[in-house]
Amino acid sequence: GAGVSQSPSNKVTEKGKDVELRCDPISGHTALYWYRQSLGQGLEFLIYFQGNSAPDKSGLPSDRFSAERTGGSVSTLTIQRTQQEDSAVYLCASSRGVLAGQETQYFGPGTRLLVL
């Protein structure tokens, strides 16, 4: 497909376990973003990748959260030692770039994470 894809669509895990969420951006898009959507916090920015530059991690809520982007394409968001407050929908977005005219972000369907 031509859009942003994410997997899994749903994930149920036990408190304390690690989880990995995957995002496949639109082909040719150099910028990739992770957001989290939860009832109490709305839509929050987590981390941003642009090309080969170091990621901007300013939105990560704790050091249990990390992300990587291999080959400038697919990204994995990892949550270690999950807590119940990590339960949310994790959304990935990509854009052609960050310059004027390139900055529109297109979102994937999200991964719904439930920590029991």
Partner 1 sequence: AQKVTQAQTEISVVEKEDVTLDCVYETRDTTYYLFWYKQPPSGELVFLIRRNSFDEQNEISGRYSWNFQKSTSSFNFTITASQVVDSAVYFCALRALTGANNLFFGTGTRLTVIP
Report the amino acid identity of residue 83.
Answer: Q
Selected binder of partner 1 within 23, 65, 67, 108 (CB under 8 A) = 108
- Determine if 25 is a binding residue for partner 1 (CB under 8 A): no
Q: At closest approach, how far in Å is the CB of 109 from partner 1?
A: 5
Using CA atoms, how far apart are residues 109 and 55, in angstroms rounded to an integer?
A: 22
Q: Indicate the residue among 19 and 35 with the shorter CB distance to partner 1.
A: 35
Selected binder of partner 1 within 23, 31, 60, 113 (CB under 8 A) = 31
Using CA atoms, how far apart are residues 14 and 83, in angstroms rounded to an integer?
A: 8
Q: Which residues pair with 16 in a beta bridge?
A: none
Burial environment of residue 79 by CB neighbours within 10 A (0 to 12, 13 to 18, 19 or more): buried
Q: Which residues from 41-80 bind partner 1, rule CB under 8 A?
A: 42-43, 45, 48, 50, 56, 58-59
List residues binding partner 1 (CB under 8 A).
Answer: 31, 33, 35, 42-43, 45, 48, 50, 56, 58-59, 89, 91, 93, 98, 100, 103-110, 112
